[in-house]
Amino acid sequence: MNYRLVILPKAKAEMADAVDWYELQQTKLGKRFISCVDKLFNIILKNPFQFSEKTPPFREALVSKFPYLIIYQINGNEIIVYSVFHTSQNPESWQNL
């Protein structure tokens, strides 16, 4: 099945905030972050069931090299990304949609 990735505005804002913060820390670090997130999005698109449901029906995938989780749900042929969540935050705060 071909899946379509839907990134909700909250998740887009979280990614933009992370890029801004990483760029302030080191030049091009924000671009490296986005590259790692994009690679994980591609893995999720190829096999969305690969990652477990931590809080059904939501799944969590850990971003390589960065302390972020992608929290998503499979809904038919869509993969809906609810949050790109920093792991140091309260684990329940991402649910404040």
Total of domains in the chain: 1
Q: Is residue 27 part of a domain?
A: yes
Provide the domain limits for residue 58.
4-87
- The 10s digit of each residue's pLDDT in 32-67 is 999 999 999 999 999 999 999 988 999 999 999 999
Residue 54 lies in a domain: yes
Q: How confident is the model at residue 1 (pLDDT cuts 50, 70, 90)?
A: confident
Domain contains 95: no
Query: What is the model's pLDDT at position 54?
Result: 87
CATH number at residue 11: 3.30.2310.20
Is the previous residue joined to 91 through a cis bond, with omega within 30 degrees of 0? no
In a domain, 58, yes or no: yes
Could you read off the pLDDT of 70-86 as tens digits, one per residue?
999 999 999 999 999 99
| Residue 31, domain member (yes or no) | yes
49: tokens are: 């069931």
Calculate the CA 91 to chain-centre distance. 14
Q: Find tokens 């071909």 and name the residue.
A: 2
pLDDT at 88: 85
Burial degree of 83 (CB within 10 A; 0-12, 13-18, 19+): buried
3, burial (CB in 10 Å: exposed 0-12, middle 13-18, buried 19+): middle
- How many other C-beta atoms can be found within 10 angstroms of the C-beta atom of residue 84? 27
User: Residue 95 above 60 pLDDT?
Assistant: no
pTM of the model: 0.90
